[in-house]
Chain A
Amino acid sequence: MDFAVQANQVCKRYRKKTAIEDISVDVRTGEIYGLIGPDGAGKSSLMQCISGVLTYDSGEIHVFGQCIDSEKTAEKIKHRIGFMPQGLGLNLYPDLSIEENIDFFANLRGVSAELLTQRKEMLLSVAKLTSFKTRAMKNLSGGMKQKLGLICTLIHQPELIILDEPTTGVDPISRRDFWEMLNRLVMEEGMTALVSTAYMDEASRFHRLSVMHQGKVLEQGSADEIVSKSPGWVVEIETTQPDQVLATLRTQFEIVEQLGQMVRLVAFGQDKNTIESILKNLLNSEELQWHFLPIGLEEFFIQRLKNHSATAEKQLQKQPDLISKSHAKNNTADTSALIKADKLVRRFGNFTAADQVSFEVRPGEIFGLLGANGAGKSTVIKMLTGILPPSEGAGFVANQNMAHSGMAIKESIGYMSQAFSLYLDLTVLENIKLFGRIYGLTGQKLKERIDWVIKIGHLQSVQNETAGSLPMGKRQRLALGCALIHQPKVLFLDEPTSGVDPIGRAEFWRILVRLASDLGVAILITTHYMLEAEHCHRLALMQAGKIVAYDTPYALKQSLKQRKGQVLSFKVTHPYRALSCLEKAGYQDISLFGNRLQLFSKEVKDVSNNVINILKNNQIEVKDTMVLQPSLEDVFVDKIETALAKHELS
């Protein structure tokens, strides 16, 4: 077996912080290898060390057999690798056109003129960018920037490409396109790819991967192998009374959570039949529907970290019964919308950032606003919070028009963003106190609210630490607490969990769910994580300023299921060959996920048998077959594709 990369017990420390600790990774030639983990896991540092652009403190890295231990030895492999740093399009030159960017990278690498012409044409057509050749990079959408970045990294035919979080911040369909393009090029050019991602649900895209957390590798292997180390199932139960079902299931299962109109249960170490029989005993199976899903990496990650650290476990076990009765509001009386967007339009010059956006959020409702970077989410939030006046239409909070309402109504709004301005040099307590004073709280009232914020955010143990020294998860909970100090009725959250690890996100959501159900707060949240979208009572998906889907997660998935059917997933021995065989046989829209092929089908049984036969005739073995429910991601890809097709027609 040839190795493209062999890293052995690599350590990297920045002044005080240890970025990676004793990491060993072997990447075989020809595979797509993944580094997966939340922000601060050490993915970027490791990739930069391997690319020969960052020094490391101990251990050894070999790339194509060449030891990388100095600037000189690193130079020897640079003509064989392509490296794309983190940050969507940040390594590209905004004022240069697509073609000029590509030419720059090619000439920098000394690519000959003929080869450049030929490769440029090929890569542009694979990326479907040929018709935008002369457009300046700064005017491209996120997905286009991402694909251009990939082209520039590939132009000199590297044998190994290293891509640092290429899919962060782009919409689901661009992500899918990107993976298709990468799969195809890796297959056609016989390259090796090392790719990092913060999305656990992308794990299945890799042949093999390392799950990283806080500078260490938690697990290595293929996604299936890793997950099979803690076998188990996820069960999703549709219900109209999630509270009751939740309470019942808690008696038998450890990990149960409510996601909007659905209860989600994770059972490790139990087989399907056992779980099925327990559920049948506990619940009225005639009224309730449930389906099984294989354990994903996200669940595995949480489980693995729970075993990893006892404190994390304690925190997860502790259910927040912390919302004191005195603040609890009667949320059944008033059901008129707290947030209302009424045909909001916002134009910047001749660019329409938000186009006829309408939705409502009622008290106690968690509303998810989804879409890629630049789809118009932030513009909508700004109009609803009164920061930006709309060009047309109106935004209402508690029936007040936000375009010309006074400070009084603005004080009933809580706002928190990913870049929320905590004062990092102040302690947790000082931060909360400061925000309380800004909202005019004093004396006993202030003290009460500070205690409440500390309690709801589980910040007791870190009260006197500076905000800057907190891990991301705790920092986000502090930011949330500060946004809640003045007891707002409406809460706007702009990507609050970006970059937070799965445990931190689970904890954060537990608080949000309680806020909505116990205090009747109306919550509008934007997120990139599809699993989080499942938590929402209702969702709106934005694409190019317009809302292209608006319903409950359940209804969205059901309608897709009715139109396109269920998802068939095959694990095969030769995925690339299998893909081309099936395409030849006339199957369309097959997606490649590492060793798995997935396609939609209404006649699950027939298609499944047919596919297995076709593959068998081509000497490809199907190792297992699964029938999955369409995911929210599938819904969004479908909706965006439909919207784009409509756009092209008009």
Chain B
Amino acid sequence: MNIRKILTLSKKEWLEIWRDRVYFTMAFIFPFVMMMVLGFGMSFDVEKMPFVIVDYDQSDLSREYSHKFISSRYFDYKGHLKKASDADELIAKADIRFLLVIPPEFSKNLKQGKPAQVQTQIDGQFTYRASMVKGYVSAITAHFNSELTQDWFAKKRGISKQELQAMLAPVTLQTHYLYNNELKSIWSTGTGMIMLVMLVAPAMLAALGVVREKESGSIFNIYASTVTPAEFITGKILPYILISYINISILSLAAVLLFEAPFKGELSLLMVSNLLYVASAAAIGLVISTFVKSQAAAALIAMIGTMIPAMMYSGLMMPVASMAAEAKIEAHAFPAMYQLEILWGTYLKGQGWQELWPNLFVITGFLLLYWGVAVLRFHKRVKA
């Protein structure tokens, strides 16, 4: 490998990107916009669900029950309606996500010691959200039930509420969430987005960089010259690594500043791993470029080929441990999972070199593998 030739290639590539202002701007704006859109858009929190109440009973008890919902931080109370059918349009227009119906005989039944039925109608389009809402509604209802029971016992037996509570619910649960104390999903997805975006963007840029030359015909300069495939691939990838490293550093900072995620671990580890990760992502792009001839195909394949594994098989959407066997293999065969472990480890868990050094080795391994495949697949004497 001749260093001068590599640097010549890199310099030319850099000048071309730098002077093509549209391309240059896109190279920086695209990852940032993608991170913002996906980070804020892919929140899994079920909070402030808008809802309305139809109270046919209009009693103290029904108001007390309603109040439990109105005061919850998970729900956003939008008002009372006269009859249940009025809510149809609101649900259809997605102005509210569910509706709570309290029947006319609610308090009468309860006071007579009979069971009373309440109804909730939930927008079931997103099953995850619907089951979360159902869970909250059930929990509030259960809590209301136990309060009623406690009141009844307190009146009957004349013992204090505290004593009653100890008798009826001897086990109380104290929950403490580790790593993401407030259970804010943006802390996790937001930092995870760095892994996703910085796999897609470098791969696309690098793939386009090579295929652009194939389309214009300037690739023949390389074919007809004495440059070796290794020199070409290396010279070509360096500017894209530089651009992508600047990008991933911006995004890493944005996670803290804009998503308000904490950073608890070792910064030096993250900085090293970021570099290796964007390099291996760019190398994926070069591998892709050896298969295709048009820029459209390169962009599409780079996009899909990196987005799907990074989204589905990295542990971002679902923990790797709970994946099916084949999916697990897929997850381990891609650098995304290892980088996600590093990101979550450094941001949320406060980890550093001691815990995460093996991941660096794996990512370096992927980088060398992809680089090698690209070099072996790049031929200077082509078939067509």
Q: What is the bound-complex CA distance between A70 and B380, given in angstroms?
A: 10
Q: Which of B1-37 contact A (CB under 8 A)?
A: 2, 4-5, 8-9, 11-12, 15-16, 19-20
18 contacting pairs across A/B (C-beta < 8 A): A14-B384, A51-B224, A53-B380, A55-B382, A55-B383, A71-B380, A74-B381, A79-B226, A90-B216, A91-B217, A93-B16, A95-B19, A95-B20, A107-B5, A108-B222, A108-B227, A109-B225, A136-B19
The reply to whether B380 and A74 contact each other, CB–CB distance below 8 Å, is yes
Closest to A152 in B: B221
Q: What is the bound-complex CA distance between A109 and B226, given in angstroms?
A: 6
Report chain A residues within 8 Å CB of B16. 93, 95-96
Task: Say yes or no for A517: interface residue by CB 8 A criterion.
Answer: no
Q: What is the bound-complex CA distance between A95 and B14, given in angstroms?
A: 11
Q: What is the bound-complex CA distance between A500 and B293, given in angstroms?
A: 27
Q: Which of A84-122 contact B (CB under 8 A)?
A: 85-87, 90-93, 95-96, 100, 104-105, 107-110
Report chain A residues within 8 Å CB of B11. 104
Report chain B residues within 8 Å CB of A55. 381-383
The reply to whether B379 and A93 contact each other, CB–CB distance below 8 Å, is no
Known: A90-B216, A107-B8, A108-B5. A81 touches B224 (CB 8 A): yes
B59-82 vs A, Cβ < 8 Å mask (1 yes, 0 no): 000000000000000000000000
Task: Say yes or no for A415: interface residue by CB 8 A criterion.
Answer: no
Task: Say yes or no for B218: interface residue by CB 8 A criterion.
Answer: yes
Known: A91-B217, A91-B220. A53 touches B382 (CB 8 A): yes
Task: Say yes or no for B223: interface residue by CB 8 A criterion.
Answer: yes
The reply to whether A95 and B15 contact each other, CB–CB distance below 8 Å, is yes
The reply to whether A96 and B224 contact each other, CB–CB distance below 8 Å, is no
Known: A78-B225, A95-B19, A110-B2. A90 touches B217 (CB 8 A): yes
Minimum CB–CB distance for A98 against chain B, Å: 13
Q: What is the bound-complex CA distance between A108 and B227, given in angstroms?
A: 7
The reply to whether A110 and B226 contact each other, CB–CB distance below 8 Å, is yes
Question: In the complex, which of the residues B16, B221, B223 has the most CB atoms of chain A within 10 Å of its own CB atom?
Answer: B221
Q: What is the bound-complex CA distance between A483 and B166, given in angstroms?
A: 94
Q: What is the bound-complex CA distance between A136 and B16, given in angstroms?
A: 11
Task: Say yes or no for A504: interface residue by CB 8 A criterion.
Answer: no
Minimum CB–CB distance for B319 against chain A, Å: 46
The reply to whether A78 and B217 contact each other, CB–CB distance below 8 Å, is no
Report chain A residues within 8 Å CB of B384. 14-15, 54
Minimum CB–CB distance for B19 against chain A, Å: 4
Closest to A49 in B: B381
Task: Say yes or no for A38: interface residue by CB 8 A criterion.
Answer: no
Q: Which of A19-73 contact B (CB under 8 A)?
A: 48, 51-55, 70-71
The reply to whether B4 and A110 contact each other, CB–CB distance below 8 Å, is yes
Report chain B residues within 8 Å CB of A100. 12, 15
Report chain A residues within 8 Å CB of B380. 52-53, 71, 74-75
Task: Say yes or no for A301: interface residue by CB 8 A criterion.
Answer: no
Q: What is the bound-complex CA distance between A75 and B225, given in angstroms?
A: 8
Report chain B residues within 8 Å CB of A95. 15-16, 19-20
Task: Say yes or no for A82: interface residue by CB 8 A criterion.
Answer: yes
Closest to A95 in B: B19
Q: What is the bound-complex CA distance between A91 and B9, given in angstroms?
A: 14
Q: Which of B263-297 contact A (CB under 8 A)?
A: none
The reply to whether B381 and A53 contact each other, CB–CB distance below 8 Å, is yes
Minimum CB–CB distance for B312 against chain A, Å: 35
The reply to whether B224 and A83 contact each other, CB–CB distance below 8 Å, is yes
Known: A74-B381, A109-B225, A110-B2. A104 touches B220 (CB 8 A): no
- Total residues of chain A contacting the partner, CB 8 A: 35
B220-262 vs A, Cβ < 8 Å mask (1 yes, 0 no): 1111111100000000000000000000000000000000000
Q: What is the bound-complex CA distance between A9 and B12, given in angstroms?
A: 40
Q: What is the bound-complex CA distance between A96 and B225, given in angstroms?
A: 19
The reply to whether A83 and B382 contact each other, CB–CB distance below 8 Å, is no
Q: What is the bound-complex CA distance between A90 and B227, given in angstroms?
A: 20
Q: What is the bound-complex CA distance between A136 and B18, given in angstroms?
A: 14
Q: Which of B77-104 contact A (CB under 8 A)?
A: none
A411-424 vs B, Cβ < 8 Å mask (1 yes, 0 no): 00000000000000
Q: What is the bound-complex CA distance between A70 and B383, given in angstroms?
A: 11
Q: What is the bound-complex CA distance between A113 and B380, given in angstroms?
A: 26
Minimum CB–CB distance for B313 against chain A, Å: 35
The reply to whether B20 and A108 contact each other, CB–CB distance below 8 Å, is no
The reply to whether B220 and A85 contact each other, CB–CB distance below 8 Å, is yes
Report chain B residues within 8 Å CB of A104. 8, 11-12
Q: Which of B110-167 contact A (CB under 8 A)?
A: none
The reply to whether B224 and A78 contact each other, CB–CB distance below 8 Å, is yes
The reply to whether B227 and A54 contact each other, CB–CB distance below 8 Å, is no
Closest to A164 in B: B220
Question: In the complex, which of the residues A70, A85, A96, A105 has the most CB atoms of chain B within 10 Å of its own CB atom?
Answer: A85
The reply to whether A92 and B12 contact each other, CB–CB distance below 8 Å, is no
Report chain A residues within 8 Å CB of B381. 52-55, 70-71, 74
Minimum CB–CB distance for B26 against chain A, Å: 15
Closest to B8 in A: A107
The reply to whether B218 and A93 contact each other, CB–CB distance below 8 Å, is yes
Q: What is the bound-complex CA distance between A152 and B221, given in angstroms?
A: 10
Minimum CB–CB distance for B229 against chain A, Å: 9
Q: What is the bound-complex CA distance between A19 and B356, given in angstroms?
A: 56
Question: In the complex, which of the residues B8, B224, B380, B384 has the most CB atoms of chain A within 10 Å of its own CB atom?
Answer: B224
Report chain A residues within 8 Å CB of B221. 91, 105, 108, 152
Q: What is the bound-complex CA distance between A362 and B155, given in angstroms?
A: 112
Report chain B residues within 8 Å CB of A71. 379-381
Known: A71-B381, A90-B217, A93-B12. A52 touches B224 (CB 8 A): yes
Q: What is the bound-complex CA distance between A86 and B380, given in angstroms?
A: 17
Q: Which of A301-359 contact B (CB under 8 A)?
A: none
Q: What is the bound-complex CA distance between A87 and B220, given in angstroms?
A: 12
